[in-house]
Chain A
Amino acid sequence: MQTFDVAENGLRELNQTLQAQSVDTNQTNWEVKNPKGSHAIAVGLDAPIEVTVKGSTGYYCAGMNQQATVRVEGSVGPGVAENMMSGTVVVEGDASQYAGATGHGGLLVIKGNASSRCGISMKGIDIVVQGNIGHMCAFMAQAGNLVVCGDAGDALGDSLYEARLFVRGSVKSLGADCVEKEMRPEHIEILKDLLDRAEIDAKPEDFKRYGSARNLYNFDVDNSAAY
């Protein structure tokens, strides 16, 4: 286990050190002490290392992650795992706005609640939230899966493309072009796999699936009230 103290050595050295790890590094376990809400902690990683952040972080923790597993033992500020390509990010606490924004791949697990716009413009990332999510989540979401074990706020999946949304609790309102869809066996399988990987004990059968009605895919003046 390698230990890095942010308060002592600074953000620049932290990211430089973690980004320098290669695919075949033998320094695979890292502990980051004293994050103290710093922004851009553990961003741009690209190696199969495991990083545990001992405390809460500011904006963009684990931004653009590739391959690495980043576990935050605290809460995270806006844009955790933004534009993640691969790997896993686990947040033990809550997440602020834009969690997993524009993520192309990988798995983001939030053990607490996620604020508004979680999964905005997601492009293939899988996001599992054990608690509730705020308003406008999965706005313009293109691909990937958003799983919510609690409740969803207003305008879920507004202007959604091809992302799949699974919600166990209530949905305050659906956004434009987002509709409830039939939960077929293949969706149960996808959900089961995501819950297993997120280490969350929940029955896939208790969830409802939401997706795009695909009515807004090509502009039609008769739909102008929806824009």
Chain B
Amino acid sequence: MKDMDSRIPRTMPIQSATFTNEINAEIRRAAATGIYDIRGGGAKRRVPHFDDLLFLGASVSRYPLEGYRERCDTSVTLGTRFAKNPIKLDIPITIAGMSFGALSGPAKEALGRGASAAGTSTTTGDGGMTPEERGHSTKLVYQYLPSRYGMNPNDLRKADAIEIVVGQGAKPGGGGMLLGQKISDRVADMRTLPKGIDQRSACRHPDWTGPDDLEIKILELREITNWQVPIYVKVGATRPYYDTALAVKAGADVVVMDGMQGGTAATQDVFIEHVGLPTLSCIRPAVQALQDLGVHREVQLVISGGIRTGADVAKALALGADAVAIGTAALIALGDNDPKWESEYQKLGTTTGAYDDWHEGQDPAGITTQDPDLAARVDPVDAGRRLRNYLKVMTLEAQTIARACGHNHLHNLEPEDLCALTMEAAAMAKVPLAGTDWYPGKAGF
């Protein structure tokens, strides 16, 4: 090869903004393996989010409440519409559905311990209810999923609420997949399937389709549980106005709206990144549907997908939600993606903060695995304490903001407390762009 003539100026090497190193690596991986990329977690792409909103705080027209002195309540009751026994929570932050199977036994126990200590609920997932989970969760929401793995009326009646899962934010319209390497004897037994095979979870329910059927399904579940417990309907954020309205029409007590940043145990990366709506964009339409039907606050709205801080909680509530649910953040609180496992992440070809091959069952943190040696790394008591601490911090943060805005309950936060930093966020949240009194779509814009 000839050396270049150093006297002649050269064009700088320019990386394509279209064919980035990440894209090129994925093309090479696909070409080598012939299979799409499967991973856990939620959307990693940048989308308009709660970070694009700010609280205005108190001013001449509004006076604040004294921090640590004047009370700011945080309680919420879910399921007041039809259930004889609504769920009363101390804080408006719940733990989202995650299955035993996707998560290790100690991790599920830790979620129950942490949530219970903080006065909130946790949720089962695909695969059914474990005695450990029921035993350590003061308030347990039982997911009713298309696969019906482990589904039985006895567990249904032990639940404090039932969540009919229509979809989830990471993959609205998609089912689940628990790969064979995570199918231990116990997981296989709970799901009535052979050990070691890939376990597919159906994308839609086997015995109903559409909102008219859903109404009858809800009736059946209420009849079986004697109308005692609330029934939630969980949807992945796609058509939030209509999905909320139809869930209400079908008889839901609570609507759970999960944005695309919400995690999954495993699905195709292309699904996670390219299907569904950002969490920020689905709250106002869902609230609007509830208001149009005259049931805002009577049918509660739970928002999930990318909730990380008390500020996120406060913003979701200010936009009209009654509560939020966290999944990924709760796993991080337990120890997921902790830097102390960096050398092991490196061996798996990844790094702290980026580990998302949860389906492979080799999680160094012992959370998304069924390997007994790895799972033993999770001390349920210690991990539960960390989750409790984290939930307490989030609550304190949300209270701090609410007091600064002059509110004595988190539910008194309102859209008028917010402004947006970007046009996109202003349009999605329907709050004014910072320093203005308008947002895209508002009359006069």
Contact A121 B151 (CB under 8 A): no
Contacts of A159 in B (CB 8 A): 200
Q: Which of A12, A85, A140, A218 contacts B223 (CB under 8 A)?
A: A12
Contact A142 B226 (CB under 8 A): no
Contact B206 A16 (CB under 8 A): no
Contacts of B33 in A (CB 8 A): 221
Contact A104 B198 (CB under 8 A): no
Contact A101 B206 (CB under 8 A): yes
Contacts of A139 in B (CB 8 A): 206
Contact A101 B207 (CB under 8 A): yes
A18 to chain B, nearest CB (A): 10
Residues 146-187 of B at the A interface (beta carbon under 8 Å)? 147-148, 151-153, 156, 177, 179-180
A97 to B207 CA separation, bound complex (whole angstroms): 8
A43 to B220 CA separation, bound complex (whole angstroms): 7
Residues 269-321 of B at the A interface (beta carbon under 8 Å)? none
A21 to chain B, nearest CB (A): 14
**A102 within 8 Å of B (CB atoms):** yes
Contact A66 B153 (CB under 8 A): yes
Contact B198 A142 (CB under 8 A): no
Contact A85 B220 (CB under 8 A): no
Contact A11 B208 (CB under 8 A): no
Contact A219 B35 (CB under 8 A): yes
B109 to chain A, nearest CB (A): 25
Contacts of B56 in A (CB 8 A): none
Contact A218 B197 (CB under 8 A): yes
Q: Produce 1/0 per residue, A142-170, CB < 8 A to B.
A: 11000000000000000101100000000
**A94 within 8 Å of B (CB atoms):** no
**A54 within 8 Å of B (CB atoms):** no
Q: Produce 1/0 per residue, B19-47, CB < 8 A to A.
A: 00000000000000111000000000000
Contacts of A22 in B (CB 8 A): none
A64 to chain B, nearest CB (A): 4
Given contacts A98-B207, A140-B200, contact A218 B180 (CB under 8 A): yes
B358 to chain A, nearest CB (A): 16
Residues 122-146 of B at the A interface (beta carbon under 8 Å)? none
Contact B148 A60 (CB under 8 A): no
Q: Which of B211-219, B252-260, B404-412 contacts A (4 or more CB under 8 A)?
A: B211-219
Q: Which of A76-84, A127-135, A186-194 contacts B (4 or more CB under 8 A)?
A: A76-84
Contact B207 A40 (CB under 8 A): no
**A19 within 8 Å of B (CB atoms):** yes
A72 to B207 CA separation, bound complex (whole angstroms): 19
Most chain-A CB neighbours within 10 Å: which of B200, B202, B207, B217?
A: B207
B191 to chain A, nearest CB (A): 8
**B194 within 8 Å of A (CB atoms):** yes
Contacts of A71 in B (CB 8 A): none
**What's the tally of chain A residues with a CB closer than 8 Å to chain B?**
42
**A211 within 8 Å of B (CB atoms):** no
**B193 within 8 Å of A (CB atoms):** yes
A16 to B227 CA separation, bound complex (whole angstroms): 10
**A204 within 8 Å of B (CB atoms):** no
B194 (CB) vs chain A CBs: closest residue: A162
**B192 within 8 Å of A (CB atoms):** yes
Residues 82-126 of A at the B interface (beta carbon under 8 Å)? 82-83, 85, 97-98, 101-102, 104, 117, 120-121, 123-124
Contact A43 B194 (CB under 8 A): no
A39 (CB) vs chain B CBs: closest residue: B216
A59 to B217 CA separation, bound complex (whole angstroms): 8
Interface class of chain A by DSSP: loop
Residues 4-62 of A at the B interface (beta carbon under 8 Å)? 11-12, 15-16, 19, 39-40, 43-44, 46, 58-60
Contact A221 B34 (CB under 8 A): yes
Most chain-B CB neighbours within 10 Å: which of A58, A124, A140?
A: A140
Q: Which of B156, B216, B227 contacts A58 (CB under 8 A)?
A: B216
Given contacts A79-B207, A217-B197, contact A63 B192 (CB under 8 A): no
Given contacts A44-B223, A59-B216, contact A121 B147 (CB under 8 A): yes
B212 to chain A, nearest CB (A): 10
A104 (CB) vs chain B CBs: closest residue: B152
Contacts of B216 in A (CB 8 A): 39-40, 58-60
Contact A83 B219 (CB under 8 A): no
Contact B219 A40 (CB under 8 A): yes
Contacts of A44 in B (CB 8 A): 153, 223-225
Contacts of B147 in A (CB 8 A): 121
A159 to B202 CA separation, bound complex (whole angstroms): 11
A161 to B374 CA separation, bound complex (whole angstroms): 30
Contact A19 B226 (CB under 8 A): yes
Most chain-A CB neighbours within 10 Å: which of B35, B147, B198, B216?
A: B216
A11 to B196 CA separation, bound complex (whole angstroms): 44
A63 (CB) vs chain B CBs: closest residue: B220
A159 to B203 CA separation, bound complex (whole angstroms): 14
Given contacts A59-B213, A59-B216, A120-B206, contact A15 B151 (CB under 8 A): no
A221 (CB) vs chain B CBs: closest residue: B34
Contacts of B179 in A (CB 8 A): 219
A83 to B145 CA separation, bound complex (whole angstroms): 12
Contact A60 B220 (CB under 8 A): yes
A144 to chain B, nearest CB (A): 9
Contact A121 B220 (CB under 8 A): no
Contacts of B148 in A (CB 8 A): 83, 102, 121, 123
B270 to chain A, nearest CB (A): 14
Contact B223 A11 (CB under 8 A): yes
Contacts A12-B223, A120-B207, A123-B192 known; 8 new A-B pairs at CB < 8 A? A12-B227, A40-B223, A43-B224, A64-B224, A83-B152, A104-B152, A124-B192, A161-B197
- Provide a sorted-by-A list of 9 A–B residue pairs whose CB atoms are within 8 angstroms: A12-B227, A39-B216, A83-B152, A101-B206, A142-B193, A162-B193, A217-B180, A219-B35, A219-B177
Which A residues contact B (CB, under 8 angstroms)? Answer: 11-12, 15-16, 19, 39-40, 43-44, 46, 58-60, 63-64, 66, 78-79, 82-83, 85, 97-98, 101-102, 104, 117, 120-121, 123-124, 139-140, 142-143, 159, 161-162, 217-219, 221
The 8 A-B residue pairs with the shortest CB-CB distance in the complex, in nearest-first order: A44-B224, A102-B148, A217-B197, A79-B207, A98-B207, A221-B34, A64-B153, A101-B207
